[in-house]
Amino acid sequence: MRIRAAVTQPRLIEPGAVYLVTRRVVRRHHLFAPDPRMNRIFLYTLAVAAMRVGVRVHAAVLMSTHEHLVVSDPLGRLPELLHYLHRHVALATKVLRRWDGSVWDHEPTSVVELRTPNAVVEKIAYAIANPVAACLVPRAKDWPGVKTRPEELGSATWRIERPTEYFGHDDDKWPPFIELHLEMPGAARQLDVTDARFRELVAHEVAALESAARARAREIGGTFLGADRCAKLSPFRRATSREPIREASPTFAVGRGNHDAWRESAERIRAFRTAYRDAREAWRRGRRDVPFPFGTWLMREEHAAVIAAAA
């Protein structure tokens, strides 16, 4: 269950939050079709961006037409990560694919705050199992693109060499190589389970999603594309599978059956938006000392607005 936000609503960014991030390629082109060069571009840029802003990466899956990330934001700097990551991934992709035009879809990035440990488990599993849900491969581990396996949570460290495309070898901001460690989410501590048990919980959820996806494929007589054919996708072709009409992007997720957490989270968002609207109206009337609610990002960064202390 979740509350949905219009694209014009202010985004609440608080230090310590955990998010599922999704962004799509323009017109569903396979610009991120899995190959070693594309995989390296994405992982290298993600590692540099995460290091710059202190965001902790838990899971990363790069589909041919979109990205999925699950990250923690200790310092409340997620918008900086997204701006840096998406800008440089787009520029490097344009070089790699010799692509003239936009890379990312015009829709804003979907940022879903994961408000409970169960939501973290479910959304990590959702990201991992996405290649199966899309009928690309029958098992998530077979996906040839950037992927995260449950056993890698909190344990894997990827060492990525600087791509030869776009990233200047004589520019200090692009190191010759960088390491990206997949951090264990704080949800493991909140659930009071060991790291190994948390991986088991995610693996169980992934297995259930994979099984459901295979069952749906059998019902409609569909087949999976397979890893070999996925690796040969043309980046200039567009996905042809039917896509549901997009609704407004969800603001938060609490996991299945967490009704009390949903009501609490919905009230939190409503209170933030009400306080933001009131402060914004006062700002428009010339009040530059009016405090915006804690968690306001854009007004602070672009206009140096006063931000209220955390409650």
> What pLDDT digit, counting tens, does each position of 117-174 carry?
999 999 999 999 999 999 999 999 999 999 999 999 999 999 999 999 999 888 889 9
* Residue 146 shares a structural domain with residue 285: no
pLDDT for residue 311: 80
d(CA 84, CA 81): 5
Is residue 148 in some structural domain? yes
Q: In this model, does residue 90 exceed pLDDT 60?
A: yes
Domain ends where: 238, 257, 276? 257
**Buried/exposed code over 111-125 (b: 16+ C-beta within 10 A; e: otherwise):** bbbbbbbbbbbbbbb
- CATH number of 105's domain: 3.30.70.1290
* Residue 253 shares a structural domain with residue 277: no
If pLDDT is split at 50, 70 and 90, which confidence band does 8 have?
Answer: low
* Residue 139 shares a structural domain with residue 271: no
d(CA 46, CA 69): 10
* Residue 94 shares a structural domain with residue 192: yes
Q: In this model, does residue 203 exceed pLDDT 50?
A: yes
pLDDT for residue 262: 97
d(CA 209, CA 28): 23
C-beta separation of 128 from 135 below 8 A = no
* Residue 251 shares a structural domain with residue 277: no
pLDDT for residue 246: 55
pLDDT for residue 214: 96
Q: In this model, does residue 269 exceed pLDDT 90?
A: yes
Number of domains in the chain: 2
pLDDT for residue 6: 41
CB burial class (10 A; 0-12, 13-18, 19+) of residue 55? Answer: buried
* Residue 135 shares a structural domain with residue 268: no
Task: Lowest mean pLDDT of 42-51, 57-66, 68-77, 231-240, name the range.
Answer: 231-240
* Residue 182 shares a structural domain with residue 202: yes
Span 33-48, mean pLDDT?
97
* Residue 252 shares a structural domain with residue 114: yes
d(CA 146, CA 60): 7
Q: In this model, does residue 245 exceed pLDDT 60?
A: no
* Residue 189 shares a structural domain with residue 243: yes
If pLDDT is split at 50, 70 and 90, which confidence band does 248 have?
Answer: low
Q: In this model, does residue 243 exceed pLDDT 90?
A: no
Is residue 64 in some structural domain? yes
Is residue 141 in some structural domain? yes
* Residue 21 shares a structural domain with residue 102: yes
Q: CA 115: distance to chain centroid? A: 15
* Residue 170 shares a structural domain with residue 270: no
Stretch (H or E) spanning 22 = strand 17-24
Domain span at residue 107 reads: 17-257
Span 220-224, mean pLDDT?
91
pLDDT for residue 239: 86
* Residue 127 shares a structural domain with residue 158: yes
pLDDT for residue 4: 44
Q: What is the mean pLDDT of the chain?
A: 94
Higher per-residue pLDDT: 247 or 158: 158
Percent of the chain with pLDDT over 70: 95
